[in-house]
Chains A and B, each alone.
Chain A
Amino acid sequence: MTALTVFYTGLFYFASLALVGGLAYRIMEYARTPAPLKIPTTPAPTTTSGVVMRMAREVVLFESLFKSNKWIWLFGILFHGGLAVVLLRHIRYFQQPVWDWVVFIQPFGKYASFIMVAGLAGLWARRFLVDRVRYISTPSDHLILALLLGIGLSGICMTFGAHTDIVDLKAFALGLVTFDWHPVPDDGALLIHLFLVALLMIVFPVSKLLHAPGVFFSPTRNQSDNPRETRHIAPWAAALDRTAK
């Protein structure tokens, strides 16, 4: 095995561990931290099924963002929607044979990358053009957009420009999953693409990308509005009932 293959193989195992381990740690931390008071942003659903619907609208349709700002909503939905289809398309590199529906979405997935990149470009443009957003942007906000755009553009290059050897790539990817390692194809665009993806996986659990798990734990969105009917109390708060009167 070449040094390049060793490096990329090691990188992906490390990145996967960082992503899964880091996210698991964060999610545990969110789940363990109590929410001592009922603070749903009202009007809020009064039942659990209502809360599930609210959360689904929030996560799939970006309901609050739609109320808030149509431009951010548009660019946000383009980016996230495009990314979702692109990610699903990539399942094909990790299985043999490939599921029918993954085969079916392949052409959509190829073009979804343009939608994703357009959304990212719009979001980045706002960081320069809108004075309020410029004011709040930090270097890391720009870098994460650069990272995602780099992933998108290097991907587009391989799909529509200089094709990479897809058979070799699949052997490498499958090898990672089955622990039967194969050489990583020595192709500039691919190596950049893979490196940036690994980087994204590594920074995910220590960056603002935590908005993805975070939204599910947001008390203003995931609580039902029934404080008169049910007594909601955190363990540390219940201790007060037993001691001080």
Chain B
Amino acid sequence: MAGPEFEVPTLTEYTDVPRIKEGAMAHVKSFVSPQATQEYMGYPWVLPADWKERALDKMGELLGKYRSLRVFMDACVHCGACTDKCHYFLGTADPKNMPVARQDLMRKVYRRYFTLPGKIAPWLVGAVDLTEDVLNEWYNYYHQCSECRRCSVYCPYGIDTAEITMAGREILNHVGIGQKYSNEILVKVQKIGNNLGLPGPALLDTLEGLEEDIEADTGVAVKMPLDVQGAEILFVTPSADFFSEPHVESLIGYAKVFHAAGASWTMSSKASEAGNFGLFNGNYETMRKVAMRIRDAALELGCKRIIVGECGHAWRVAYSFWNTLTGLGYDGKDPFSVELQKQLDPRFPQPMHICEYTWDLIQKGVLKFDKSKNDDRVITFHDSCNVARASRMGDEPGGQFTIPRNIIRAVANNYQDMAQETIGESTFCCGGGGGLLTDDLIELRVKGALPRMNAYNNVAQEEKVNFLALICAICKAQFTKVFPYYGFDRGSVGGVHQLVSTAIKLD
């Protein structure tokens, strides 16, 4: 690996709030999406002559369709509560990475064209005209937000910058300035069925290879079924689980759990992706289209339960939005949702997280573990942003924090939390979420990981922690990449079900 062309931050005991450094990240710009991709997505690929009207029309449309955007544009009082909460600000000191300043990039334009004082006296309320420079600034800084919602926890009005970032990206797409990384993934998932662009036959081949590996390793014939008609459980997981390290170790873990439980389960070549980058772009219809693949697969295969693998934003979309987008849930009264819901087994929540499933089996005593197999590890757990602040597990609020930790404690002897202000609802993003997990943003990713790296370093130094357990495909890829920049071993990153896989007893 070539050395970084930027300064990697130094680790400190606490993450200090930096003094602002204007323009510190103005040079960081994610690659722009090419013509073919934009065309497939139905967006222009160069700035149209009437871009300004298009942008403002889109903004007006979004203001009418999303109460969040409408209220958040008006409600901010510039109190400053959010200014030291974003990991990208803490890691880069660029003031435009303060949540309020990121919101203001759009708010200034909103005030100019949609409010009376901004129309009469723009200088008074900080309103600005929409120019190409403003658009470019939007592009840079709306792709320096991972939509992690940490700011929304701390805002006295609950203003969620993610909602504004999503709207910003949607407007940019409509004037031809899309992001290459996210849009290319959205094309792949719609054309081929998953974000990695792994076609059905290759997937089948990969799964068979993994079955052989498990059998060679354990002597037990653990299956990884694909497209099994009439299977009880449809299991949907991020496609990174099929062949990225360490993701695949968790996939092996899920398969062992299903095996030990004697479950009838299948994956689907059609729905071979739990992730949904439609979320990141803020386009409801794209997000819905991508989510429909799971509904269609469930209907075709006749599955009664839907379970989702380790993936943060996928779980947000699944838990919070699937019922809305595709009727996958309960309480639907319209024919569209009833068609699917009458097929689902009402004894279980739909969809269910793999951690809910595994924890349930552990509580029932179905799974047996040899915890000592994990004794070489001292484990800590990183709450992934979308799971922590945009979803839930179990019946009680906060189950998303307790259930994964309960599983870890059930399969391993050494567990240690990181500092309270860096976990739970206060968790720091890994630095690569929200469509930023691309090499053209590596400087941002390394710097944005700083608060988490500081917290991890503390427990590594003081408690000899050597394993960061995760339940998110993006977190796994991001930490595997940035750990070495901070002097940590990339092998100390892995999934919760990797730990399950290590300790589970099969027969």
Residues on A close to B: CB < 8 A?
26, 29-30, 33-39, 41-46, 58, 62, 64-65, 67-69, 72, 76, 123, 126, 130-133, 135-141, 143, 203, 206-208, 210-211, 214-215, 217-221, 225, 227-234, 236-238, 240-242
Contact = CB atoms under 8 A, between A and B. Distances in A.
Contacts of B186: none
Contact of A136 (B74, B83, B149, B390): B83
Contacts of B398: 43
B40 interface: no
B323 A227 contact: yes
A196 to B, nearest CB: 17
B318 to A, nearest CB: 9
A228 B320 CA distance: 7
Given A33-B66, A211-B157, A230 B71 contact: no
A233 B324 contact: yes
B83 A37 contact: no
Contact of B320 (A58, A137, A227, A234): A227
Contacts, number: 229
A64 B150 CA distance: 12
Nearest to B98: A132
B155 interface: yes
21 contacts: A42-B392, A42-B400, A44-B397, A67-B153, A69-B80, A76-B156, A132-B98, A133-B78, A133-B79, A135-B101, A136-B80, A136-B104, A140-B124, A219-B67, A219-B71, A220-B160, A228-B323, A230-B323, A237-B324, A241-B336, A241-B337
A223 to B, nearest CB: 10
Interface string B154-183: 111111100100000000000000000000
Given A43-B398, A132-B95, A68 B319 contact: no
Contacts of A39: 68, 160, 163, 320, 390
A34 B65 contact: yes
Interface residues of B, number: 78
B158 A218 contact: yes
Interface of B: 17, 19-20, 22, 63-68, 70-72, 74-85, 95, 98, 100-101, 104, 115-117, 123-126, 149, 152-160, 163, 284-285, 288, 319-321, 323-324, 327, 329-334, 336-337, 349-351, 388-392, 397-398, 400-401, 425
A214 B75 contact: yes
Contacts of B98: 132, 135-136
Given A35-B68, A136-B101, A231-B324, 19 more contacts: A29-B70, A38-B320, A42-B388, A65-B81, A65-B154, A68-B81, A68-B155, A123-B79, A132-B98, A133-B80, A214-B75, A217-B67, A218-B71, A218-B158, A225-B392, A227-B329, A230-B331, A233-B324, A242-B336
Contacts of A42: 388-392, 397, 400, 425
A33 B158 contact: no
Query: 8 shortest A-B CB distances, which residue pairs?
Result: A214-B75, A138-B126, A220-B158, A43-B397, A68-B154, A133-B80, A132-B83, A221-B158
Nearest to B398: A43
Contacts of A236: 65
A58 B159 CA distance: 13
Nearest to A141: B78
